[in-house]
Amino acid sequence: MRTATLERNTKETQIRVAVNLDGSGLYTVSTGVGFLDHMLEQLSRHSLIDLEVQASGDLHIDAHHTTEDVGIAIGQAVTQALGERKGITRYGSALIPMDETLTRVALDLSNRPYLIWRVDFSRPKLGDMDTELFKEWFQAFAQAAGVTLHVETLYGDNNHHIVESCFKALARALRQAIEIDPRKADAVPSTKGVLGGSL
C-alpha cells in the first residue's frame, strides 16, 4: 500500500495529514474552514485516495495560511506515498460538468511542479472563504506534490459549482495518474529513468 503520514507545524498552522493512494475514498477532514473541508472530501471521494486531515491555524486573521499549508501538507504526503513513482500511469485528465459549469484538468506527475490556473469567479467569497484562496491551494498542492497541473473552467456561472468542479476534476485526473500500469509496474514512466529535473 502506498501510504504516508506527516505533520507540518509552523507558528501559523499545525497540520497532520495521512494518505493512502490505494484506498477507497474514505476521509476524515477538519481544517476549521468549512468550505475547504467540503472540497477536500470531494477530492478524496472522487480520487479514491483515503485522506485524513487535521488542521488548526490562525483563522482569527483569515483562512490564507490554513488553506495554503493544507495544500502543501497534502502535496507532500502524496509525494511521499508515490516514492520513486515507479509504475504509475503518470498522466491524467478529466472533464467534469456540474450543472451549468464545465471544468477541465490535465496533469502530469512529472515531479516538475507547475500550475496553469484559468478560473474566474464573480464573487469575492464562498461562505467565509475568499475565492482567491482556491488558486493558492492548487498552487501549494502542485508545488509540493510535484505536479504539472492545468486547471481551466471552460464556462460556468455559479461560483460554488466552479470550485467544486475544479476539485472533482483534479480528483478524477489524479485517480488516473496514480494508477499502476501493469505492463510497466517496475519502471519509472520516463525515458530518463527518473522523474523530475530538466525536461
- Domains of the chain by residue range: 3-184
pLDDT above 90: percentage of residues in the chain: 88
DSSP characters over 82-147: HTT-TTB--EEEEEEEETTEEEEEEEE--S--EEEEE---SSSEETTEETTHHHHHHHHHHHHHT-
pLDDT, tens digit (0-9, with 9 covering 90-100), for 187-197: 676 656 676 75
Is CATH 3.90.180.10 the classification given to domain 3-184?
Answer: no
Q: Quick one: cell of 102?
A: 464545465
pTM: 0.94
Q: 63 in helix, strand or coil?
A: coil
Residues of the chain with pLDDT under 70: 185, 187, 189-193, 195, 197-199
| pLDDT confidence of residue 198 | 45
Beta strand 114-118 pairing with 148-155: parallel
